[in-house]
Structure 1
Amino acid sequence: MQAFWEILRPFNCLMASAAAIIGLLIAGIWDAGTALIITGAVFLITGAGNAINDYYDRQIDAINRPDRPIPSKRIRPKTAFCYSIALFAAGCILASLAGQISLVIAVFNSLLLLFYARDLKAAPLLGNLSVSYLTASTFLFGGAAAGLMGLLANQIPFGLSLLVSMSREIAKDIEDMEGDRLGGARTLPILAGERAAAALAGLFGLAGVLLSLLPRFGRAYLLMVAVADLLILFAVFKVIRGDASGSQKEMKKGMAVALLAFLAAALLP
């Protein structure tokens, strides 16, 4: 049973669920029952995405991550595939309880996670965009419980998360250039060059900073998002200077503080 829990990457699932709950709060819904439905649906679908990703990456993981459940033979590949499909189905059924829009987002994200793991991961930029959308869409999923107005209320969190995630995804590709080139991958830095990719990563980061200043979420939000913006700007500086690894770390910190800023916006409007 431990392997079935491990393949979900529960910490990542909980972080995605937390972003969805913040989206729910920003939309103005404080119902505990709805929050439990949103948390469960996001946890299940995120876990399913991680499991299906491990299924398609099992040959690579046999070399790079032999301790993972499939290459370590604690879970059979076919079992992992069926497990992920069952989780996708359960997550979508749970999402339907939160409303029609929530169900549409859940089904779309489930299909995207499947196609990403199977086909899109190797596609330059499109793979990065898929991951960034999936990361950012947790805010939309949470807000969708309030209908169209809930989606509109989460435009800024969604946009900021999308832009900053794109910056971080490109920085990750820059960091992995040598291994990707040896493995025959066709990532953006390999196709366009490291400097061009770093410049694009910087532009996405700067766009995220500018977007974060648009909403009027209150003083607490502004104070916290200012800290997040400084971290993101530092990450942009690092990626431009050729430190992709350091940029990723700072970007991750910036995203974490931005998440707290949006929580403050929801709790202290």
Structure 2
Amino acid sequence: MNKSEFLKTIAAFFRLVRLNNLLIIVLTQYMARIFLVGPKADWQSYIFELKHFLLVFATVCIAAAGYIINDYFDIKIDLVNKPREVIIGKIIRRRRAILSHQILNFIGIAIGLFLGLKVFLINVFAVSALWFYSERFKRQAFIGNFLVAFLTAFSLIVLAVYYKQNEMLVNIYALFAFSISLIREIIKDMEDIRGDARYGCRTLPIIWGIRRTKILLYIFIVGFVSILFFMAYSLHNQYLIMIFSGSIIVFTWLINKLYWADRKKDFTLLSRICKIIMMGGIASMIFV
């Protein structure tokens, strides 16, 4: 392999493991450590804290492995939905992809064992869930959506388990991550309905149709915002109440865009909007 091919493979590997998403995980866990777990006054020490670095690194390894195995099982579907983005089998060999997946999972689980039994068990569950999601549940209605949403919240749940300070506050943000991820995953199913239907996937839009799936999303959005507002109110945290009150405007706009969406590009836009809302949620940690 010459230098050009090597650099092309490295760049492809970073795309495969969704480097941007991994950086978001790192940012989320460090911001949660500083602004949610705290105390904020000691923020400089958290940046160089070895155990927190290992916790973040383990999470990133497991997430990267999850992206690899997801693409591994989705090669045929992705050749229909997004043929230009397929990496496994084109740039990176299937055997090397599986080996990378296994190495990353081993690192994540081994670090979890070093940090403690609870973190180890959560990491083992995350690894197992990502495998079964990619291999089986992704093609089943709602179960796959629910599972990947839970795994999105995993990066905050593991912090709530490892650190005992402000557990409720961390879990509120974990619920927020779960909620917006679940909404986004169902929207992505509507976006990918063509390729999913061709390969026998039983996603909600295929079983129920677009219209009924939208109704379910309206219910989820209203329900999740209500629960988050109630949890914030129970903490008597005025800043959190203000943040979630402001989110009502954003989610109302999202519902309006969802109502009028009927083409693939509309659902692609909605998926991106959900990602922006997720980033806004992360940024709001600063003000809590």
1:112 paired residue number: 129
> Among residues 101, 120, 125, which one is paired with 1:84 in the alignment?
101
Structure 2 CA distance for partners of 1:60 and 1:71, relative to 1, 3 Å: farther
Structure 2 CA distance for partners of 1:68 and 1:190, relative to 1, 3 Å: closer
**Which range moved further: 7-16 or 29-38?**
29-38
Structure 2 CA distance for partners of 1:68 and 1:196, relative to 1, 3 Å: closer
C-alpha distance in 1, partners of 2:194/2:169? 42
> Among residues 217, 220, 230, which one is paired with 1:204 in the alignment?
220
1:144 paired residue number: 161
2:6 paired residue number: none
C-alpha distance in 1, partners of 2:109/2:167? 18
Give the % identical residues: 24
**Aligned residues of 1:166 and 1:201 also touching (Cα < 8 A):** no
How many residues align structurally?
A: 263
Structure 1 residue 17 corresponds to structure 2 residue 34: no
Name structure 1 gaps, 5 residues minimum. none
Using the TM superposition, give the Cα deviation of residue 241 of structure 1 relative to its aligned residue in structure 2, in angstroms. Answer: 3.6
Compute the TM-score of the two structures, normalised by the length of structure 1: 0.86
**Which range moved further: 176-185 or 255-264?**
176-185
SS of the residue 1:69 aligns to: coil
Structure 2 CA distance for partners of 1:101 and 1:229, relative to 1, 3 Å: farther
**Aligned residues of 1:44 and 1:91 also touching (Cα < 8 A):** yes
**Aligned residues of 2:77 and 2:196 also touching (Cα < 8 A):** no
Using the TM superposition, give the Cα deviation of residue 201 of structure 1 relative to its aligned residue in structure 2, in angstroms. Answer: 0.9
Structure 1 residue 173 corresponds to structure 2 residue 189: yes
1:28 paired residue number: 38
C-alpha distance in 2, partners of 1:46/1:93? 15
Structure 2 CA distance for partners of 1:210 and 1:126, relative to 1, 3 Å: same
Structure 1 residue 193 corresponds to structure 2 residue 209: yes
C-alpha distance in 1, partners of 2:85/2:210? 32
Structure 2 CA distance for partners of 1:9 and 1:217, relative to 1, 3 Å: farther
| 1:122-169 Cα deviation digits (max 9, x unpaired) | 01100100111111121111222215x665442211222222222222
**Aligned residues of 1:139 and 1:157 also touching (Cα < 8 A):** yes
Name structure 2 gaps, 5 residues minimum. 1-8
C-alpha distance in 2, partners of 1:54/1:91? 19
Using the TM superposition, give the Cα deviation of residue 94 of structure 1 relative to its aligned residue in structure 2, in angstroms. Answer: 1.7
